[in-house]
């Protein structure tokens, strides 16, 4: 058992998690939104994912892009329960076949961040693309006809009220040494592709990787140049109305995790652990 899973189990047994959720709701003025990120949701983990969704529905409420816009505009959340953005990185096919129906069932909209070249790769080459670009397909995606969602599936999710955002062209981590032309292609050109495929503006971007070295000032400048309204990191922190919209933190959760670990991520404890890294990354991004 890892230290994290031990802490999560202890928090659950001692009923600390619900207490910390209540404290957050009472103490964060103007309300807040929590953002979490998944990757794939395989058929084997679907039942467990549904248990997580049922827990989220009990303690949080769904967040649309319009809700997020209104939150920053009015500086108040205005709903009884905190908001929860449930996001999915990498564009895996199980996001459409497994996760989306369960999100619909429980009244949540998903925020799907896709590497556009992965989606556009012919199905027979997608597993090779995934291996070469540090994408890990889940069991369902790896056995499906397509490892990635198709553009038709993404357009369908978009029509159904889910949010489609950018996760670069090729799932590239933003190394310090990358040239301006590479950054332009990965951050700006990918936005153009999404907008052409979906027929409307793409406001949201999610950084790839989450390692501290993968956040660079050059990439942050390009995100601004591209015109993204929001960008999401994986540096845990609630979203409040005074946050920088281009530094919105997320907590990573996977569909295979026990409920004690998923709820632990929402308790606020991880926010404290991420504070030093988050501050260092903020300085890098603000340097733009």
pLDDT tens-digit series, residues 18-66: 899 999 989 898 899 999 999 999 999 999 999 999 999 999 999 999 9
Kind of pairing between the strands at 33-38 and 110-114: unpaired
> Among 118, 278, 88, 95, which Cα is nearest to 186's?
118
Q: From residue 171, give the alpha-carbon distance in Å to each of 68, 117, 168, 206, 214.
A: 25, 8, 6, 10, 12
Residue 221 lies in a domain: yes
Report how far residue 102's alpha carbon sits from residue 110's, in angstroms, rounded to the nearest whole number. 10
Kind of pairing between the strands at 230-232 and 204-206: parallel
Residue 204 lies in a domain: yes
Number of domains in the chain: 1
Domain with residue 117: its CATH number is 3.20.20.370
Residue 26 lies in a domain: no
pLDDT-derived band at 12, boundaries 50, 70, 90? confident
pLDDT in tens, 256-288: 999 999 999 999 999 998 999 999 999 888 765
pLDDT-derived band at 232, boundaries 50, 70, 90? very high
What's the mean pLDDT in 231-242?
A: 94
Domain region containing 43:
32-79+89-236+261-286
Q: In this structure, are residues 243 and 36 in contact, taking their beta carbons and an 8 Å threshold?
A: no
Q: In this structure, are residues 206 and 228 in contact, taking their beta carbons and an 8 Å threshold?
A: no
Residue 223 lies in a domain: yes
pLDDT in tens, 152-208: 999 999 999 999 999 999 999 999 999 999 999 999 999 999 999 999 999 999 999
Q: In this structure, are residues 147 and 137 in contact, taking their beta carbons and an 8 Å threshold?
A: yes
Q: Exposed (0-12), middle (13-18) or buried (19+): which is 29, by Cβ within 10 Å?
A: exposed
Residue 241 lies in a domain: no
Q: In this structure, are residues 198 and 149 in contact, taking their beta carbons and an 8 Å threshold?
A: no
Residue 18 lies in a domain: no
Q: In this structure, are residues 97 and 45 in contact, taking their beta carbons and an 8 Å threshold?
A: no
> Among 100, 106, 109, 104, which Cα is nearest to 149's?
100
What's the mean pLDDT in 241-268?
A: 95
Residue 286 pLDDT: 78
Report how far residue 148's alpha carbon sits from residue 137's, in angstroms, rounded to the nearest whole number. 9
Residue 197 lies in a domain: yes
Residue 274 lies in a domain: yes
Q: What phi and psi, each to the nearest 5 degrees, are found at residue 257?
A: -70, 145
Is this structure's pTM higher than 0.85? yes
């Amino acid at each position: 058992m890892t230290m994290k899973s031990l802490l999560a189990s202890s928090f659950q047994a001692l009923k600390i998690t619900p207490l910390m959720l209540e404290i957050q709701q009472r103490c964060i003025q103007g309300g807040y939104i929590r953002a979490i990120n998944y990757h794939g949701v395989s058929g084997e983990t679907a039942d467990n994912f549904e248990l997580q969704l049922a827990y989220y529905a009990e303690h949080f409420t769904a967040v649309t892009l319009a809700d997020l816009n209104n939150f920053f505009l009015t500086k108040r959340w205005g709903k009884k329960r905190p908001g929860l953005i449930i996001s999915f990185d990498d564009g895996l096919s199980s996001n459409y076949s497994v996760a989306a129906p369960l999100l619909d069932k429980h009244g949540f909209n998903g925020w799907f961040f896709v590497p556009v070249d992965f989606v556009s790769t012919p199905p027979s080459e997608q597993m090779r693309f995934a291996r070469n670009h540090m994408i890990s397909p889940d069991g369902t995606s790896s056995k499906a006809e397509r490892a990635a969602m198709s553009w038709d599936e993404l357009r369908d999710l978009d029509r159904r009220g889910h949010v489609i955002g950018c996760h670069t062209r090729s799932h590239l981590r933003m190394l310090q040494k990358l040239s301006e032309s590479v950054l332009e292609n990965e951050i700006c050109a990918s936005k153009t592709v999404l907008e052409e495929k979906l027929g409307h503006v793409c406001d949201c971007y999610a950084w790839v990787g989450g390692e501290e070295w993968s956040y660079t000032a050059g990439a942050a400048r390009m995100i601004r140049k591209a015109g993204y309204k929001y960008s999401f990191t994986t540096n845990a922190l609630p979203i409040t109305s005074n946050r920088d919209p281009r530094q919105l933190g997320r907590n990573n959760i996977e569909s295979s995790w026990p409920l004690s670990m998923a709820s632990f991520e929402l308790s606020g404890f991880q926010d404290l652990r991420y504070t030093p890294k988050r501050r260092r990354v903020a300085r890098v991004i603000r340097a733009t």
